[in-house]
Structure 1
């Protein structure tokens, strides 16, 4: 498969090279291929930095854009030319031309006079009132370019910003916002900033009760006649602004209709069934919901001055209850309230089905050639105790198999059952905690059971229980605190083959040890991409995991002195584990993203443990890790398993360092490409005589870093991303010091080298 993939890539590259030599093949006679535009700035005053910025800003406005280049080649145009004139639109050549290819951008598509007007207008909007822009085109053979010459002239700056003053409450409120104005004396005149200032004032007024105000009611007049290339700006409310937009509104009555349907009765009929609870009228005739749930969700109270923040937060909290399918609201002016304007508030909530079934199917493949799938079926019972609670039961089954090769018959089967009960509030004994913000905090109780059967090797079962608090500060920041987290793992069956293998390789014992983990954990997640954005942002996930602290203190356990203590027949684990995952995504240009990741993990076993429990240890290698090495086969340290086993043991460690960098580019249609470099390793905290070279040492760990690189294709099919990566090692830490870099040993023509070093990964989703 690796050889075939390489051949395909070489054929595509050759085709692109050939067609790239005749890039104007499809250009009609009498026309030319438009290859782009150049912007020149003619000015003796502007600094070189300012000219560069101006050129970039103006260039971004030029239309049309020429055919895109990928690594210097107009790939899409080359594919369009390569396809020729297919007879069938549905055939391969039709697909290549219409889906992958891109028709040539022609000189006849360019209107350089209109474009020059747009560039000149842009300069005028940024204070260059005397700017002049001219445009022209140049044709050489079958290719053409455009050139735009800009003479900006002097840029006008703001001398003074004047806010109108009178006795009205509206004008006084606007004047109180003047200190935070975006318009600053000495700054250049900029129409974009002026529009932003109108939006800022509008948002400021919305927070202070001016419900009916709109930014269009503001006008900012400009006086450019004061000389010295300066302007004065005057902020006014338009005289025709309606009366209701000048008034401050307070909240009157709040009505909540939690069983609303499109064919529901009128407001008056609905209100007749409402009961009063702590300031709110809840129309719940069937008593399906506890009124306390709405009181905790609402950020408005009767008598409050209207503000947009509380308006949006209330809607967000009702949506995040995950009980209602649709949430909308309406404000209505209370008649006869000219002296004290008030708004009645109505919330219309359409419930989700109380009970529902869901299913999820996944497919996966690993670089150790195991392929598998899993199916999860879940049942949901919403509003279990009439307070927005969610009771969930999920049953999961899955397998990983290899149909040929060394691991044929060593299949893995998994099954599990998990139940959880989630409350939309903090459950703290004897304390009621009320929170603000757009996200409802939750308390989650969890109980789970898992069964793992590694055919011909062993069968393990495990029990899990937990108690967690989950809350979000905002859309970017989420916290999860688990004061109690319990895991109990024990073997059900171990085959003689595995016992014999464990006798040769004692590290295999770790996978079948009884494990009892009683501890606490805290997780913090920060994601700047959660709100969408332009593709540039930071992601951080940090985790603190503690186990066995109280039990170790009470029992005085000390594994190093052979004073080992047990709970339920299992040696309880005692450790502190820290892990941080930092990622940064940079949008280099349209369709190109540079992604970087750093993972640092540290496990400190002490007291009753000399190493982290197997299920808590770190692993590297595989589809989403260091892709040039097989799944869980790398490390720890310089250790390499040399025992002749019919299956590969999972190599684990207490310390982890991993770095990844990947450049992603859209090639055409749903096809994206990537080049990447991965590096890292794992280590043990304490020395292990069975795995020499596995212990972490600060003086040498950088010499024990594995490095791999590769290329990949991603097929983005809207609901999933199918990923194909081909990687090879550049540095092998298990080789003797001085021989670990293996770049000079790359030999694509050697079948033995390809079999050992080319690692093919098939994955679902991006690696990070």
Structure 2
């Protein structure tokens, strides 16, 4: 007890000394500004709205106090600790100016200015009779500002008046016709920000109807607050002083395209290009080098000569030109025609990226199965292979993964391979498909080969060929359809040691021999695949964001129907001497992110995977089965070491430990993320899940999926650090299991066994994960 009290007093003394060190360097007569508080006094306003208003108003106060962490101000402490540097370079100067932070003094705070800011904000939100007051408190050379806001009753909108449909001018009639989706609603609170949004909306609609020179500033919203009972009338109109050219509709005239425009030599580019003019449909193309075939403009441009100008088509054309991936810069200009009134000539200035490029990459990697390694790759690409913005890519790679310690020590993995692909910026189909999104649809053909050698065991050849389509409806959704997808895996060599391990494992009758044999089986998989992705996680200001990816893989259906394949009653049917796989597989990955504050978030993920083998297959082929565990999965368990179900193979300390796989998968993850300081972020997480087999396997007891699947979940927890270095995120996680599904019923929860002080427990349970990026 005495020791605990002593520790308590020592901590108090250290905190007091730390606080004093941040104030003793202040200028004489000044105080450290520790922030401002806003109190909204209103007995009618709901508490939730009042607190929300206080939070927003607090964010408007200036200046901001020194950044803090758990009530401390480490950056200010470092600033004071570094002292005044004697020169403008060196460690002390770096520590004080880059890491440290100078004190924010109370003399820098203008109470009246902040009070005016709060009053303006409240009035803009419809509290026209608001009162604000400012005061301050101080203690131990620290000062805090206190602001009191008394808003009174908020004004609401009684009526919104637009120009009549029979207005005197054409533009007034147009404004009247687009009132249907107005942001201004009867009965809603008055809000200046909503009025600004309405002006922007009207401007956008008018620009889509040909009013090229219009601006939101030409819209006037008059406010009449004399109608009584805390209500206002809003009158929407076009300003009388609006220029005449802003009131007229413009059409598209001649369209000029400069595909080899140089920003550095813009004038010379335009002068030398006039000798080489090509007419293609409505386009005038100035391309002396004939770099591109004109067909690419027909697929990307939404303007045609004689069309009414539309800002939507304007932006779609620019977006699609950028989305081609061929141009470094895309510039667009509209000029009034010299010969025809009310017509805009259109100019596109396109600066190409280098046509060919080569990239060399080297990366290091590690996983929770204790494998460490590296991989090197060389990628060559041609962004305009056939002069229509086709992307031709060739790559070769080689890598190694080595386990320095652990049961699989010496069974290193070596990989070499290559890939060739070509991407056309259009749909290649027997029928013509119209696409009107901002993103260029793509057709991709791909062939790849990989040779994998697991030292002392076996080597595999893997071939793959794909032909498919990629397209996006908008920035949030993406589709990938491969009508043709073939994957063939064949063993190149199998060592006697591996065969001996299979024989030894067969004698145990625990399914390990089957798992080892499946790895070296020939596998032929063909059939269509499809995936759909939706995400709005790029919207950083949203409180709730989502990510969803669903995939479908259908293999061997037509071949199975044609051959009458049924592995349950006869030997599997073969194509070219290889049994082909038949299955339907789907995987659903759903993620939900809840923003808790400016620097904290709750991230959640659930993955449901189901693979149903049928006809020619009793299980999914090994390369298409589900795995669980590892740095991006259940982090408290080694990679691919869990399941299926409660199955746990007998381990031979002198043998190779095979990966565990299944036909079904359930995984759930929850992670709390918060910024600690600077680039360092922390996380607390819980992971749960398992895999199962679809059909019963007598050699793998407990592996089949049943209605009691929830009793077979593995659960783990842990904590981690993330170093956000802007160009990458380095992740360190330390995790340990809470529930082990392979233990007997009633003994699977192992929370009572946790003993961080035990060397044996740490060796058997603590799992360290080093990775790049977030797990989800």
TM-score range, shorter chain: over 0.9
Matched, 1:25 2:26: no
1:87 CA displacement: 7.9
Report what 1:612 is aligned to: 620
Matched, 1:354 2:362: no
Asked if the contact 1:19–1:82 (Cα under 8 Å) also holds between the matched residues in 2, the reply is no
Asked if the contact 1:16–1:75 (Cα under 8 Å) also holds between the matched residues in 2, the reply is no
Q: Select between 208-217 and 266-275 the one with higher mean Cα deviation.
A: 266-275
Report what 1:545 is aligned to: 553
Report what 1:395 is aligned to: 396
1:546 CA displacement: 0.6
CA distance in 2, matches of 1:256, 1:486: 42
Q: What do residues 326-351 of structure 1 show as CA deviations (whole Å, max 9, x unaligned)? A: 2111111112433xx11111111122
1:696 CA displacement: 0.7
1:20 CA displacement: 7.3
Match 2:735 to one of 722, 727, 736: 727
CA distance in 1, matches of 2:718, 2:343: 65
Match 2:704 to one of 672, 695, 699: 695
Q: CA RMSD in A?
A: 2.6
Report what 2:115 is aligned to: 116
- Provide the secondary structure at the position in 2 that maps to 1:564: coil
CA distance in 2, matches of 1:760, 1:92: 34
Asked if the contact 1:447–1:465 (Cα under 8 Å) also holds between the matched residues in 2, the reply is yes
- Provide the secondary structure at the position in 2 that maps to 1:23: helix
Structure-to-structure mapping, 1:566-605, within 5 angstroms: 566-605=574-613
Match 2:317 to one of 309, 314, 317: 314
1:242 CA displacement: 1.6
Report what 1:684 is aligned to: 693
Report what 1:767 is aligned to: 775
Report what 1:76 is aligned to: 74
Report what 1:5 is aligned to: none
1:659 CA displacement: 0.8
Report what 2:508 is aligned to: none
Q: Select between 620-629 and 342-351 the one with higher mean Cα deviation.
A: 342-351
1:600 CA displacement: 0.7
Asked if the contact 1:24–1:142 (Cα under 8 Å) also holds between the matched residues in 2, the reply is no
Report what 1:671 is aligned to: 680
Q: Select between 225-234 and 372-381 the one with higher mean Cα deviation.
A: 225-234
Asked if the contact 1:296–1:434 (Cα under 8 Å) also holds between the matched residues in 2, the reply is no
Structure 1 526/278 Cα, relative in aligned 2: closer, same or farther at 3 Å? same
Report what 1:656 is aligned to: 665
1:674 CA displacement: 1.1
Structure 1 96/694 Cα, relative in aligned 2: closer, same or farther at 3 Å? farther
Asked if the contact 1:575–1:612 (Cα under 8 Å) also holds between the matched residues in 2, the reply is yes
Report what 1:323 is aligned to: 326
Q: Select between 507-516 and 151-160 the one with higher mean Cα deviation.
A: 151-160
Asked if the contact 1:420–1:445 (Cα under 8 Å) also holds between the matched residues in 2, the reply is yes
Matched, 1:299 2:307: no
Asked if the contact 1:20–1:74 (Cα under 8 Å) also holds between the matched residues in 2, the reply is no
CA distance in 1, matches of 2:213, 2:57: 38
Q: What do residues 585-608 of structure 1 show as CA deviations (whole Å, max 9, x unaligned)? A: 222211212211111100001111
CA distance in 2, matches of 1:150, 1:487: 68
Structure 1 238/719 Cα, relative in aligned 2: closer, same or farther at 3 Å? same
Structure 1 44/518 Cα, relative in aligned 2: closer, same or farther at 3 Å? closer
Asked if the contact 1:67–1:74 (Cα under 8 Å) also holds between the matched residues in 2, the reply is no
Aligned length: 751
Report what 1:136 is aligned to: 135
Asked if the contact 1:76–1:668 (Cα under 8 Å) also holds between the matched residues in 2, the reply is no
Report what 1:408 is aligned to: 409
- Provide the secondary structure at the position in 2 that maps to 1:500: helix
Structure-to-structure mapping, 1:3-18, within 5 angstroms: 18=14
Asked if the contact 1:462–1:490 (Cα under 8 Å) also holds between the matched residues in 2, the reply is yes
CA distance in 1, matches of 2:670, 2:49: 33
Q: What do residues 227-264 of structure 1 show as CA deviations (whole Å, max 9, x unaligned)? A: 33222222232233222111100111112222222335
1:79 CA displacement: 6.3
CA distance in 1, matches of 2:45, 2:352: 62
Structure 1 152/317 Cα, relative in aligned 2: closer, same or farther at 3 Å? same
Report what 1:194 is aligned to: 195
CA distance in 2, matches of 1:95, 1:286: 52
CA distance in 2, matches of 1:169, 1:269: 44
CA distance in 2, matches of 1:735, 1:82: 57
1:317 CA displacement: 1.0
Asked if the contact 1:76–1:100 (Cα under 8 Å) also holds between the matched residues in 2, the reply is no
Structure-to-structure mapping, 1:259-270, within 5 angstroms: 259-262=260-263, 263=265, 265=268, 270=273
Structure 1 15/315 Cα, relative in aligned 2: closer, same or farther at 3 Å? farther
- Provide the secondary structure at the position in 2 that maps to 1:559: coil
Q: What do residues 562-604 of structure 1 show as CA deviations (whole Å, max 9, x unaligned)? A: 3311223222110000001111222221121221111110000
Q: What do residues 361-418 of structure 1 show as CA deviations (whole Å, max 9, x unaligned)? A: 2221011211111112111122222222121111111111123444332211111110
Report what 1:7 is aligned to: none
Q: What do residues 706-740 of structure 1 show as CA deviations (whole Å, max 9, x unaligned)? A: 11111111112221111111111111111111111
Matched, 1:462 2:462: yes
1:221 CA displacement: 2.1
- Provide the secondary structure at the position in 1 that maps to 2:742: coil
Structure-to-structure mapping, 1:220-369, within 5 angstroms: 220-262=221-263, 263=265, 265=268, 270=273, 273-338=276-341, 341-369=342-370
CA distance in 1, matches of 2:375, 2:16: 45
Structure 1 677/384 Cα, relative in aligned 2: closer, same or farther at 3 Å? same
- Provide the secondary structure at the position in 2 that maps to 1:349: strand
Asked if the contact 2:22–2:76 (Cα under 8 Å) also holds between the matched residues in 1, the reply is no
Q: What do residues 200-248 of structure 1 show as CA deviations (whole Å, max 9, x unaligned)? A: 1111111100011111122222222333322222223223322211110
Q: Select between 701-710 and 386-395 the one with higher mean Cα deviation.
A: 386-395
CA distance in 1, matches of 2:151, 2:773: 48
CA distance in 2, matches of 1:224, 1:101: 51
Report what 1:3 is aligned to: none
- Provide the secondary structure at the position in 2 that maps to 1:179: coil
Asked if the contact 2:22–2:77 (Cα under 8 Å) also holds between the matched residues in 1, the reply is no
Q: Select between 36-45 and 726-735 the one with higher mean Cα deviation.
A: 36-45
CA distance in 1, matches of 2:646, 2:12: 43
1:143 CA displacement: 4.1
- Tell me, which stretches of 5 or more residues in structure 2 are unaligned? 1-6, 506-511
Q: What do residues 246-298 of structure 1 show as CA deviations (whole Å, max 9, x unaligned)? A: 11001111122222223355758745532222222222344332222210111
CA distance in 1, matches of 2:96, 2:457: 53
- Provide the secondary structure at the position in 1 that maps to 2:474: coil
Q: Select between 305-314 and 98-107 the one with higher mean Cα deviation.
A: 98-107
Structure 1 697/277 Cα, relative in aligned 2: closer, same or farther at 3 Å? same
Match 1:554 to one of 562, 565, 576: 562
Asked if the contact 2:501–2:655 (Cα under 8 Å) also holds between the matched residues in 1, the reply is no
Report what 2:3 is aligned to: none
Match 2:642 to one of 618, 634, 637: 634
Asked if the contact 1:456–1:495 (Cα under 8 Å) also holds between the matched residues in 2, the reply is yes
Asked if the contact 1:131–1:150 (Cα under 8 Å) also holds between the matched residues in 2, the reply is yes
1:689 CA displacement: 2.0
Structure 1 712/95 Cα, relative in aligned 2: closer, same or farther at 3 Å? farther
Matched, 1:450 2:450: yes
Structure 1 423/37 Cα, relative in aligned 2: closer, same or farther at 3 Å? same
CA distance in 2, matches of 1:83, 1:702: 55
Matched, 1:63 2:72: no
Report what 2:151 is aligned to: 152
- Provide the secondary structure at the position in 1 that maps to 2:527: strand
CA distance in 1, matches of 2:247, 2:200: 17
CA distance in 1, matches of 2:335, 2:305: 14
Structure 1 92/723 Cα, relative in aligned 2: closer, same or farther at 3 Å? farther
Asked if the contact 2:255–2:346 (Cα under 8 Å) also holds between the matched residues in 1, the reply is yes
Structure 1 561/16 Cα, relative in aligned 2: closer, same or farther at 3 Å? farther
